[in-house]
Structure 1
Amino acid sequence: MDRQTVAVRVLAHFTPGDKVLEFLAPETDWLDIRYCAEDDDDTFYRELPDAEVIWHVLRPLSGPDLEKATQLKLVHKMGAGVNTIDVGTATRRGIAVANMPGANAPSVAEGTVLLMLAALRRLPELDRATRAGKGWPSDPSLGETVRDIGGCTVGLIGYGNVAKRVEQIVAAMGAQVLHTNTRDDGLPSWRPLPELLAASDIVSLHLPLTEQTHHLLDADALARLKPDAVLVNTSRGPIIDEDALVDALRERRIAAAGLDVFAVEPIPAEHPLLRLDNVVVTPHVTWYTVDTMRRYLTEAVDNCRRLRDGQDLVNVVNSHG
C-alpha cells in the first residue's frame, strides 16, 4: 500500500469544535480520528483496542487502560504534564509517551495573569455587587486593599516556559519578579523558597506534580506568606495542601487565591474553596484557547506522520523500546 494512503487510527479523547474539525480536515485522508468525550467511557473502551495513537487531555489513562490498548504505539499528551498517564505501564508495553512542552505556555501565562488581576482587584466581588444594583462601592476597604500588579513583587515557583512568559508580562507592567527552582541558577532574581514566599505579594505556581512537589505549599509554607498576599495556581492542584489553603483564606492569613487547578477535578460542588468570597476559580482551562489548540494539533499531526513514516518521534518522555 502506498505510504500516503496508510491510515493511522487515532483516539482523540476530547470533543472537537468546528475549528478543530476544519483544521484537521486536510489530514483525514490518512488520519482515521475517532473522537470521544472525556466522560464517555463506553465509547472510550469500545475504541481503545483499535487505537494506534491516543491524543490525551486530562482524563487519567491508567495501567489497566493501557493493557487493553493492544494496538497502541503512542500516547500523545495534549499539553506538558504527563502525571495523568501511567508512564511505567506504557514503557513496559513499548508504548511511546510524548508531550508538548511550551505549546500551551502563551495561553497559560495569560490565564495566570488574568487570575492574578481578578484576585488582586477583587473582581468577582465587584461583579456581584454591580449586578445587585450597587453603584460606587460602599466598601471603604476597596481602596485600601486592591493593588496594581506593577506595585507588587511577583514570586514564581518553578521557572519553565510558562513562568518565563508570566515574568515578561508582569515585568512589563512594572512588577519586580523573583523566582525559585530546584537549585540556584545564578540569576539575580533567584531566591530559596522560604525567602520567596516571605517577600512576594503575589505567588504563582509553575511546577509539575511529582512526589517532591506534592503539598509543597503546606500549612508551614503558607504561613510564610504576607497577610495581603495573593496565591495563584495554574499548574497542578495537589501541589497545594487544599485544607491548609482553606484555613489560611478563611482566617484571612492570606488575602486571596486564584485557582485553575484542584486536587480533584472537576472540583466537587460542595468543596469549601467554592464557598469563600476571596477565591477566584476556573475549571482547568487557562490553556484552552483557539491558539493553543492549533499548536497542539500541529504537533499531534506531526508525530502521527512520523509514526506512519517510521521516523523518530519528538518530545518522547519515556524509553519505549
Structure 2
Amino acid sequence: MEKTVVILGGELAAEGRAILEEAGVGVVSTPPYIDRQAVIEAMNRHKPDAVIVRLLADILGRKEMEAGGRLRHIAKHGVGTNDIDIESAARLGIPVSVTTGSNGHSVAEHALGLMMALVKDFSRQDTLIRDGVWDKNQYQGRELRGQHLGLVGFGFIGQTLGTMALALGMRVSAFDPHTPDSAFRDGIRRESDLDRLLSQADIVSLHCPLTPDTRNLIDARRIALMKPGAFLVNTARGVVVDEAALVEALKSGHLAGAGLDSFALEPPDRDNPLFKLTNTIVTPHVAGVTIDAKRAMAVMAAQNVLTTLRGQQLAERFLAR
C-alpha cells in the first residue's frame, strides 16, 4: 500500500506505527504542539493520505485539511475532537475517527487517583514532611466511604468510575441527558438537574465532552452552588470550567480542593494561578495516556486509518459526529 500517514503532534506508540509500516504505509511524525503554519507546511511537504492527530497548538481546520491535496482520513489519537474542525471535515468528505474505549479505564483510574489524593490530604502531607514537619495533628484526611460522588457526564469513563466508587462504599449519582436509563444500574442514581447534583455532591468529577453547551459549564454560579468544602476533579476538557471562578473558590475556601488534568490553555502558562494554590493537584493532561492506553490508542488509530485507506467502512462507534 503506497500511502503516507503523518502523525501530527508527537510520535505514535511502536505497536501502532508497526501496524502501518507492515501494511506498506510511509509514516512521518511531527513534534508536539505544532502551530497551524507548521501543520500546513507538513501537509504540503508530505502530501499525506491520512493524518493521526495527537497534540496540536491550534485546531486542525479546512486550510490544513486541504493542504497537500490528498487527505482522505483524519484519525484522532483519543476521543476528544475539540482540536479538529469536524464540520469542515464533513464538508470536505473526510471521515474523522476516534479511538472509542481505548483509554477509558486509564482516565477513570486517574480521576479516582486525584480524588483519593485530595481527600487523603496527600499533597499537603508530602510537603510538610519534606519541610521537616512531623505533626500528625495536621492531617486532614477523610474516608471516601460514605461520601457522595457526583458525575457530570456518564459515558464509558463516568460509568467505569462510578463502579469503582461504589466498590469503595461511596454514594454515586450522575447527570447526563444523553445517556440511556439502562446505563444507570447497581445503585447509581440518575440526576436530571445539574444544579441539584452540584449542590448535593461532596466530590464532583467531570467526564463530559467539549461542546458549545459544555464550554464554561461549571461557571461561577454553578461553583457557588457546590457544597462548602467540596472537591472538584476535571479529567475532561479545561474550558468546561471557568478557571478564574475556580481560583476564587479555592482561595476563599469555598472549595476544599481541585484535582485537574486539563486546562483552558495547553500547555498552560507557568504563572497560572492554579499552580500557586496549595489545595490543587495538577497533572499535564495525561489521564488518558498511560503506557497501556497509548498502546491501545495507537493500535486503534492505525487500524482506523487502514480501514479507510482500504476503502472499507468504519463501524459507527469509531466515527466522530
Normalising by the residue count of structure 2, what TM-score does the alignment of the two structures yield? 0.89
**CA distance in 2 between partners of 1:38 and 1:103 (Å):** 21
The amino acid of 1:156's aligned partner reads L
2:244 is matched with which residue? 243
SS of the equivalent of 1:232 reads strand
Correspondence 1:208 to 2:209: yes
RMSD: 2.0
What are the superposed Cα offsets for residues 234-266 of structure 1, whole Å, 9 maximum, x if unpaired?
001111111111111100011100000111111
Alignment of 1:86 with 2:85, yes or no, is yes
CA contact (8 A) 2:20 2:27 kept: no
Pairwise mapping of residues 1-321 of structure 1 onto structure 2 (< 5 A)? 6-16=1-11, 20-21=13-14, 24-25=17-18, 27-29=20-22, 30-40=24-34, 44-49=39-44, 50-59=47-56, 60-137=59-136, 139=138, 142=139, 145-182=140-177, 185-186=180-181, 187=184, 189-191=189-191, 192-314=193-315, 315-318=318-321
Counterpart of 2:195, as a letter, is P
**SS of match in other structure, 2:267:** coil
Q: Which moved more, 1:25-34 or 1:74-83?
A: 25-34
The 8 Å contact of residues 124 and 280 in structure 1, kept in 2 or not, is answered as yes
Amino acid at match of 1:236: R
User: 1:138 Cα deviation (Å)?
Assistant: 5.0
Q: 1:218 to 1:26 in 2, by over 3 A?
A: closer
| Residue-pair matches, total | 307
**CA distance 1:310–1:35, change in 2 (3 Å):** same
Q: What do residues 160-188 of structure 1 show as CA deviations (whole Å, max 9, x unaligned)?
A: 01000101111111111111112685546
Q: Percent identity?
A: 32
| Cα deviation code 1:61-117 (max 9, x no counterpart) | 123222324111111011111111011221222211111222110100011111111
**For the residues of structure 1 that align with 2:202 and 2:122, how far apart are their CA atoms?**
17
Amino acid at match of 1:55: I
Report the alpha carbon displacement of residue 120 of structure 1 after superposing the two structures with TM. 1.5
Distance 2:89 2:296 in 1: 25
Q: Secondary structure at the match of 1:28?
A: helix
Q: Distance in 1 between matches of 2:273 and 2:288?
A: 25
Q: Indicate if the aligned counterparts of 1:215 and 1:241 stay in contact, CA closer than 8 A.
A: yes
Q: Which amino acid aligns with 1:79?
A: G
What is the rounded CA distance, in whole Å, between the counterparts of 2:179 and 2:225 in structure 1?
Answer: 20
SS of 1:255's equivalent in the other structure is: strand
Tell me, yes or no, if the aligned pair for 1:8 and 1:304 is still in contact at 8 Å: no
- 8 Å contact kept, 2:9–2:34: no
Q: Does the Cα contact within 8 Å between 1:36 and 1:43 map onto a contact in 2?
A: no
CA distance in 2 between counterparts of 1:174 and 1:112 reads 16
d(CA) in 1 for partners of 2:267, 2:137? 35
Counterpart AA for 2:320: V
Any gaps of 5 or more consecutive residues in structure 2?
none
